[in-house]
Amino acid sequence: MRDFRHLAGLTTFYEFEDVISSIDSVDIIELQTALGFKYRDWLLRRLIFKPGIQQLVSNFNPGLKPVYIEKEYELILFLCMHPSDLLYLNGVKNWKDSGAVKVCVLDEFYSDTLQDYKFLLSLLENFDHIFVCLQGSVRTVQDHLQRQCHYMPCAVDTLRFTPFPSPPDRCINIFNMGNRIGQLHNILLKFTQDLNWFYYYDTIPGLLVQPTNFREHRDLIGNIAKRSEFFITYPAKLENGPAKGQSEAGNRYYEACASGAIMIGKAPTAPSFKIDFDWDDAVIELPSAEDEIKALLIKLQEDAERIESIRRNNVAGALLRHDWSYRWQKLLEVIGMDPLPQLDKRHAKLHSYAEMAKDKKIRV
């Protein structure tokens, strides 16, 4: 979907596609829009929620140029950010007829929205294996489909986000990416100005951030993150939107971790988080009062030994566990396929950088 869906949130999946392509033998089938796409897509996304006509419109092409799978593949993989994106598969005429193993990775589905997306989730029945990126949603999808689903946490291209092999100066004091949490932004604005700290934040609403070049966007985020001392991290969509209390680790935890920034905010309550980030101070919880936040951050900045320990643990932890290549390796294990040698080569590079992170002679 990279040719026509440019939302910033989707770029992490496009990054996943690029990592897979660098370590395996992959063809990316890029869907393209035809005349009238915007209207047809808008209409279909509304009709799909209408009882009585759902079954009819679920097979409609939402305005994409038809493409055909012309080769014999071992695996067909669809990275699905949202259940409604399953409709775009109607632009691929013969994918269901292929003898390949069919896998879908579903990212942004929250259990509380099941009633809204029941019918769309039923379209997942065409896949042999389903991976869900939100741990709290795995059981919901599994129960709805009456078949096993697998948990696949988010990840990042750690080679893009790691400060190694040449760690830059951390010239940004606080990085606050995307949505803001309550009054925290106003508090940070006030005291960072008093302290002459560099507070970097977004000023454009998320839906308007639509990079025309996703690789440049990911490079920019990576460069900002690895130059940041502190990175604001809160569970995705917890205050507003569809989460309704489902506390999950969004992409920013993995991006902040890989960059070596100190994660400040709140850790998700999803059980997987304590397993995936099982080192001390993975996330430092912020208090609510302005004076307490200010005092905590000043105290942290002055504690060089603690900061260095957190930074090294974050970088090494990401390099050894949270690169997209590890998710690809797990996916192949589940479906019974062997990786190509390029996977081992990438892992060797990741491990070499992780050793740099652990070496106290090298600056982080």
Give me the pLDDT at residue 84, please: 92
Please state, in angstroms and as integers, the Cα–Cα distance from residue 214 to each residue in 5, 78, 207, 208, 218, following that order: 10, 18, 15, 14, 6
The whole-number average pLDDT for the span 149-156 is 97
Question: What pLDDT does 266 receive?
Answer: 94
**What is residue 241's predicted lDDT score, i.e. its pLDDT?**
58
For residue 160, the model assigns a pLDDT of 98
Q: State the amino acid at position 331 in one-letter form.
A: L
Amino acid at 152: M
Residue in 225, 241, 243 with CA at minimum distance from that of residue 233? 225
pLDDT at 238: 58
Residue 296, pLDDT score: 96
Please tell me the predicted confidence (pLDDT) of residue 242.
65
Per-residue pLDDT for 323 more than 90?
yes
Question: How many other C-beta atoms are found inside a 10 Å radius of the C-beta of residue 271?
Answer: 10
pLDDT score for 182:
76
Average pLDDT, the chain: 93
pLDDT greater than 60 at residue 240:
no
Tell me: the pLDDT tens digits for 29-60?
Answer: 999 999 999 999 999 989 998 888 888 888 89
What is residue 172's predicted lDDT score, i.e. its pLDDT?
98
Q: How far apart are CA 335 and CA 256, in angstroms?
A: 30
The packing angle between helices 11-23 and 214-225, to 10°, is 100
What is the 3-state composition of the chain as percent helix, strand, coil, each rounded to the nearest 5? 50, 10, 40
What pLDDT, on a 0 to 100 scale, did the predictor assign at position 243? 67
CB pairs under 8 A, 24+ apart, for 50-59?
54/119, 58/87, 58/119, 58/123, 59/90
pLDDT above 70 coverage of the chain, percent: 98
Instruction: Give dist(CA 65, CA 28) in Å, integer.
Output: 16
Dump pLDDT digits (tens) for 338-363: 999 999 999 999 999 999 999 988 88
Interval 295-322 mean pLDDT: 96
Query: pLDDT higher for 333 or 50?
Result: 333
Percentage of the chain lying above the pLDDT 90 cut:
84
Which of helix, strand or coil describes residue 76?
A: strand
Nearest to 134 by CA among 158, 160, 110, 118: 110
pLDDT digits (tens, 9 = 90+) for 75-109: 999 999 999 999 999 999 999 999 999 999 999 99
Q: Is 165 helix (H, G, I), strand (E, B) or coil?
A: coil
Q: Where are the domains of the chain?
A: 32-151, 158-323+342-358
Alpha-carbon distance 91 to 320, whole Å? 38
- Residue pair 100/73 in contact (Cβ under 8 Å)? The answer is yes
Q: What are phi and psi of 111, to 5 degrees?
A: -55, -35
- Name the strands in the sheet holding 101-106, side by side, starting at the edge strand that comes first in the sequence: 75-80, 101-106, 129-132, 150-151
Tokens of 60: 């409609």
Query: 158-323+342-358 in CATH: which number?
Result: 3.40.50
pLDDT in tens, 205-214: 777 789 999 9
Distance between CA atoms of residues 247 and 269, nearest Å: 5
- 283-285 and 129-132: which strand pairing? unpaired
Q: Is the pLDDT of residue 239 over 80?
A: no
One-letter identity of residue 249: A
pLDDT in tens, 185-194: 999 999 999 9
Residue 2 token pair: 């990279």
Give CA 188 to chain center in angstroms.
Answer: 25
Which residue, 102, 106, 104, 103, is CA-closest to 132? 106
Q: What average pLDDT score do residues 172-178 get?
A: 94
Average pLDDT over residues 311-318: 98
Question: What b/e readout covers 120-138, taking b as 16+ CB neighbours within 10 angstroms?
Answer: bbbbbeebebbbbbbbbbb
Phi, psi of 106 (to 5 degrees): -105, 125
Are 253 and 317 spatial neighbours (Cβ–Cβ below 8 Å)? no
Least confident of 131-145, 231-245, 256-270: 231-245
